[in-house]
């Protein structure tokens, strides 16, 4: 999507995060190749959002390191947009005093912000709401607006934090198509397993902060540790 030089790789190396006596991530490593769709799954409290927060610079790891383009990297939230990294949140975070179009323009990175914001809204099927205020719109529409705000930045890495939450089956199918066609690297935290299995090239499974599996959807679905920890059946 971006005209910037492509990322060589985003990598997390032996990341551990502790909050007092709680270990949220325990020696987690992950390499994300350009153009891949990588899912991160696990039960509630497994460390998925903490992993995203480490990548975005909202949480500093207790130990471990990150590399970007093969170089040591310490992420900072206010530098993400400039680096071509965009993230959606679990909920919807639009500014109530701004129109939908103005909200999406916040994510743009150049002087053609309005035109590109309208294009992103059209891509997400919500251009007709451009002049509305998001607070009056249904939740599912606001989720699409959140996606448009991320896409308008033309990110090299798109981080989606439970984008299917609150969506009906038709909307989830639409979301899956969008993710597959977005044309950039995607990191996806999601509980809807049908969506994860249908769009991801690779899946990382976390349980109590530890990585218990990493593989293709087929490998993950047949992994007994994943079945026991996440899918609810005994191994």
Given pLDDT bands bounded at 50, 70 and 90, which one contains residue 228?
confident
- Residue labelled with tokens 């002049």: 131
Q: Average pLDDT for residues 25-47, to the nearest whole number? A: 94
Asked whether residue 158 is domain-assigned, the answer is: no
Asked whether residue 72 is domain-assigned, the answer is: yes
Q: Residues 23-32: pLDDT tens digits?
A: 999 999 999 9
Predicted local confidence at residue 166, as pLDDT: 85
Work out the end-to-end distance of the chain between its first and last CA atoms, rounded to an integer number of angstroms.
41
The boundaries of the domain holding residue 210 are: 1-78+185-235
Asked whether residue 41 is domain-assigned, the answer is: yes
Asked whether residue 196 is domain-assigned, the answer is: yes
Q: What is the pTM of this model?
A: 0.88
Asked whether residue 170 is domain-assigned, the answer is: no
Q: Residues 86-132: pLDDT tens digits?
A: 998 765 666 778 899 998 988 676 667 888 999 999 999 999 999 99
Predicted local confidence at residue 234, as pLDDT: 47
CATH code at 36? 3.40.50.300
Asked whether residue 136 is domain-assigned, the answer is: no
Count up the domains in the chain and report the number: 1
Asked whether residue 107 is domain-assigned, the answer is: no
**CA pair distance 43, 205, nearest whole angstrom:** 9
- Residue labelled with tokens 């949480």: 59
Asked whether residue 55 is domain-assigned, the answer is: yes
What mean pLDDT value characterizes the chain?
A: 89
């Amino acid at each position: 999507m971006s005209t910037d030089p492509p990322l060589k790789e985003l990598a997390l190396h032996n990341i551990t995060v502790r909050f007092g006596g709680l270990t949220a991530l325990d020696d987690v490593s992950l390499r994300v190749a350009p153009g891949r769709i990588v899912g991160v799954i696990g039960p509630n409290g497994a460390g998925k959002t903490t992993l995203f927060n480490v990548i975005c610079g909202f949480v500093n790891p207790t130990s471990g390191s990150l590399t970007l383009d093969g170089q040591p990297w310490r992420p900072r939230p206010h530098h993400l947009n400039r680096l071509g990294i965009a993230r959606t949140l679990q909920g919807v975070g639009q500014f109530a005093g701004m129109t939908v179009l103005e909200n999406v323009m916040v994510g743009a990175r150049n002087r053609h912000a309005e035109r590109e914001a309208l294009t992103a809204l059209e891509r997400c099927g919500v251009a007709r709401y451009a002049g509305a205020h998001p607070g009056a719109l249904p939740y599912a529409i606001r989720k699409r607006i959140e996606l448009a705000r991320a896409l308008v930045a033309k990110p090299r890495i798109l981080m989606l934090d439970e984008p299917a939450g609150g969506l009906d089956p038709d909307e989830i199918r639409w979301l899956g198509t969008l993710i597959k066609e977005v044309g950039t690297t995607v990191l996806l935290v999601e509980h809807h397993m049908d969506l994860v299995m249908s769009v991801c090239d690779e899946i990382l499974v976390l349980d109590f902060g530890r990585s218990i599996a990493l593989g293709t959807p087929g490998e993950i679905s047949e992994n007994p540790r994943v079945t026991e920890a996440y899918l609810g059946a005994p191994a």
